[in-house]
Amino acid sequence: MTKSFLLSLSQISPEAFKAFGIEEMAYIKPIKLNDGDTIVYSVHAADGTPLSLMNEKEIARATLIQNDLAPQNIH
């Protein structure tokens, strides 16, 4: 990365940064339900907007790929 690119990123507004990649990627976050045993997968747009909740990670990934979004994992 060039110094000018990094400087440009440091000057971007929080709103613009949240929108970065919004049309290209989405995030999959595992969530443990209240019973303590069940894990579901929350799918979020790049800006953090919740999109859906799925029972299986692979179904979440396939759904994103089918909709031309690159799945990203949140740990």
pLDDT band, residue 42 (cuts 50/70/90):
very high
Residue 3 has pLDDT above 80, yes or no: no
User: Other C-beta atoms within 10 Å of 41: how many?
Assistant: 20
Residue ranges covered by each domain of the chain: 21-73
| DSSP letter for each residue of 21-62 | TTTTEEEEEEEE-TTSS-EEEEEEETTS-EEEEES-HHHHHH
Q: Percentage of the chain with pLDDT > 70?
A: 80
What is the token pair recorded at 44?
A: 């979020």
User: Which pTM was predicted?
Assistant: 0.69
User: Residue 74: which of 31, 24, 38 has the closest Cα?
Assistant: 31
